[in-house]
Structure 1
Amino acid sequence: MPLVTTTEMFKKAYDGGYAVGAFNVNNMEIVQGITEACQEQKAPVVLQVSKGARAYANHNYLVKMVQAAVENCPEIPIALHLDHGDSFEVCKSCIDGGFTSVMIDASSKSFEENIALTKQVVEYAHAHGVVVEAELGTLAGVEDEVCVEAGNESYTRPEEVEEFVSRTGCDSLAIAIGTSHGAYKFTAAQCTRNEEGILVPPPLRFDVLEECIKRLPGFPIVLHGSSSVPQEFVKMINQYGGSMPDAIGIPEEELRKAAKLAVCKINIDSDIRLAMTATIRKYFAEHPDHFDPRQYLKPARQAVKDMVTHKLINVLGCNGKA
């Protein structure tokens, strides 16, 4: 099947009480690991590309790699999505360049400016058969060019969501309920420590999510910054020469709860990076004489596949839903 928009997959996810995984892609091994997992688990998937990924790998390379994945995985629906587009021009370039979905992130602007820019993107995208994700509220953390210092984030205001969706015509809405970008999602001051001395992040604001659901019945909600930062990979990175103290993420049980509600798309990026980096660090330590990239990228690709498989089954609940 060709690339699809997210419209049908989100409708099925909403009705079925699960979420579709949106995984960031930057190179061939990541694309392969994600789509092979989804093919085996018969899961729909959103492959998303950030502005930073386009700068790193080139728009045309990324689109062609995704098209190759579509040909190799014909039984699953795949959408190609722009993550955190920050201007009309970037969104237009992706719409014209083969993407089936774009995000316009004007969340740092005023409410009226956010509406105006989002509406401009929506009008162009819809005229070209492309769907649009928008954002209300801001997430803390760092991921590619998205950078908001802890303490400067803002939760979504549920009383604004109806007007925003109505005036912009966006197809899905990313909200801020306490998730955060990157592997360092929270400061130590924001967390508590359990009996083992491990940092525990503050809980997600499900009251905000539930109020948004009441005001937007049937409308697909998106969560950004939803990596869980598996501690086994953090420990592996540190064991083999890395330094990632106090890197923690969103508990998977909270994400599964959100997926059972109206959250139809959950963004995961850092967990893939951690799995790849930890695997490569370990490989280098165990095989200091190897220099062929294929030798260490093969287990790294498998680590991506294993990570995605776990997320599809245990967090998103979208396995078997293709």
Structure 2
Amino acid sequence: MLTDGKSVLTAAKKGRYGIVAPDFLTLNACRVFVQTADALNAPILLSFAQGHAGLISLEEAALVGKYWAEKVETPIVLHLDHGQDFDFLCRAVDLGFTSVMLDASMKEMDENIRLTKEVVRYAHARGVSVEAEIGHVGGSSEGVEGGTETDNVYTTVAEAKMFAAATGVDSLAVSIGTSHGVYKSNRVPELNFERLRELAAAVPIPLVLHGGSGTGDENLRRAVRDGITKLNVYTDFLVGAMREVRAVRTDSLIETQAPLTRGCARFLPTISILFLKPHKIRQCRPPEHPAAFSSYTAAPNEKSGSLRTVHLQKFRKVFIVKT
């Protein structure tokens, strides 16, 4: 069901579990993210970035996102990721996005506050949640592939407290050492968990971690334990999708669609399990026949059942928990 970001993230913060926010570029990706989340009974922030508006329009993203969110029982937040300007954010709100992010983190603090307050005023009047960012997560400056490379600017506790109080945002993206895109030499980043704990203790609203791809399972588990409520993931889905396409070795555009969808489907369950607390996982419906895997057929060279082999065995081990 389509819901607002504040209610989902507030519940997660209180329950000390994490919410994944995958970015979608296509109808297939949107569908598989929602259906997989529903099979896991794991709320997500289904995200679309302004930087991708050249690939799929904001209007199309709104229609597709709302359509699939309203077809399932699990709470789905339709979220605008890395909004760059006020008019675009307002359009997203008017089109039915239930959460928006203004990324003015590269601007001076006073300007970031001013712009964020404008967005908060407009969005809150229409029941839409707002995320903002201070500090700066390195990598792509637009939060998407192919952007300008920039360095990390770590979030300070004093600025985070002041910014949250001054703007009235519902969640705050902080910088503690992650980067957008792919890490060089496949290195695992070193996160500043001490800073994260200080931020979580000082700021009453949910904290967001951008650049979650390639960060490492243990880093992600610890980030949620130490105060992160929402995790943005994009590059890992791209890498997984392209890996599946290359494995098929076909020149047919049609035959690439199923592996692209598989690539997106494989990763979301794994990362969701990292974030859900055991008591939350036990409430999930065991995905013996996940809806996410029912909308396409296996590639000709794929062994029967191989799609489920790794992840669903892991699911069964996790779901069969004595209470």
TM-score (norm 1): 0.82
Q: Where does 1:28-39 land on structure 2 (aligned, <5 Å)? A: 28-39=27-38
Write the deviation string for residues 146-179 of structure 1: whole angstroms up to 9, x where unpaired: 84535x3210011111111111111100000001
Write the deviation string for residues 44-74 of structure 1: whole angstroms up to 9, x where unpaired: 011111112222111222112112212432x
How many angstroms apart in 1 are the aligned matches of 2:148 and 2:39? 37
1:18, 1:259 within 8 Å by CA — same for their partners in 2?
A: yes
Q: Secondary structure at the match of 1:72?
A: coil
How many angstroms apart in 2 are the aligned matches of 1:292 and 1:105? 35
Q: Give the structure 2 partner of residue 153 of structure 1.
A: 152
2:220, 2:274 within 8 Å by CA — same for their partners in 1?
A: no
1:253, 1:315 within 8 Å by CA — same for their partners in 2?
A: no
How many angstroms apart in 2 are the aligned matches of 1:314 and 1:298? 26
How many angstroms apart in 1 are the aligned matches of 2:225 and 2:179? 20
Write the deviation string for residues 266-286 of structure 1: whole angstroms up to 9, x where unpaired: 0000011011111111112xx
Q: Is 2:232 aligned against 1:267? A: yes
Unaligned runs of 5+ in 1: 189-198, 229-249
Percent identity, aligned pairs only, is 33
Write the deviation string for residues 63-106 of structure 1: whole angstroms up to 9, x where unpaired: 12112212432x10011111111111111111111111110111
How many angstroms apart in 2 are the aligned matches of 1:166 and 1:177? 21
How many angstroms apart in 1 are the aligned matches of 2:189 and 2:246? 31
Q: Give the structure 1 partner of residue 268 of structure 2.
A: 308
Q: Is 2:149 aligned against 1:162? A: no
Which of structures 1 and 2 has the larger relative contact order (alpha carbons within 8 angstroms, sep 6+)?
1
RMSD, aligned CA = 1.9
Structure 1 residues 202 and 78: CA distance shift in structure 2, 3 A: closer
Q: Give the structure 1 partner of residue 299 of structure 2.
A: none
Q: Is 2:190 aligned against 1:203? A: yes
How many angstroms apart in 2 are the aligned matches of 1:321 and 1:298? 30
Write the deviation string for residues 119-151 of structure 1: whole angstroms up to 9, x where unpaired: 11101111111110010101111243784535x
Residue type at the aligned position of 1:144: V
Structure 1 residues 308 and 52: CA distance shift in structure 2, 3 A: same
Q: Give the structure 1 partner of residue 206 of structure 2.
A: 220
TM-score (norm 2): 0.81
Structure 1 residues 116 and 33: CA distance shift in structure 2, 3 A: same
From 110, 116, 124, the equivalent of 2:108 is 110
Structure 1 residues 131 and 71: CA distance shift in structure 2, 3 A: closer
How far does residue 261 in structure 1 lie from its aligned partner after superposition?
Answer: 3.0
Q: Give the structure 2 partner of residue 278 of structure 1.
A: 243
How many angstroms apart in 2 are the aligned matches of 1:40 and 1:56? 28
Q: Secondary structure at the match of 1:125?
A: helix
How many angstroms apart in 1 are the aligned matches of 2:119 and 2:80? 12
2:243, 2:263 within 8 Å by CA — same for their partners in 1?
A: no
Residue type at the aligned position of 2:274: N
Unaligned runs of 5+ in 2: 285-323
Q: Give the structure 1 partner of residue 293 of structure 2.
A: none
42-51 or 258-267, which deviates more: 258-267
Structure 1 residues 134 and 283: CA distance shift in structure 2, 3 A: same
Q: Where does 1:1-322 land on structure 2 (aligned, <5 Å)? A: 1=1, 3-73=2-72, 75-142=73-140, 143-144=143-144, 147=147, 149-150=149-150, 152-183=151-182, 185-186=183-184, 200-217=187-204, 219-228=205-214, 250-284=215-249, 287=250, 291-293=252-254, 295-315=255-275, 317=277, 319=281
How many angstroms apart in 2 are the aligned matches of 1:11 and 1:28? 29
1:139, 1:180 within 8 Å by CA — same for their partners in 2?
A: yes
How many angstroms apart in 1 are the aligned matches of 2:282 and 2:3? 18
Q: Secondary structure at the match of 1:305?
A: helix
How many angstroms apart in 2 are the aligned matches of 1:127 and 1:311? 34
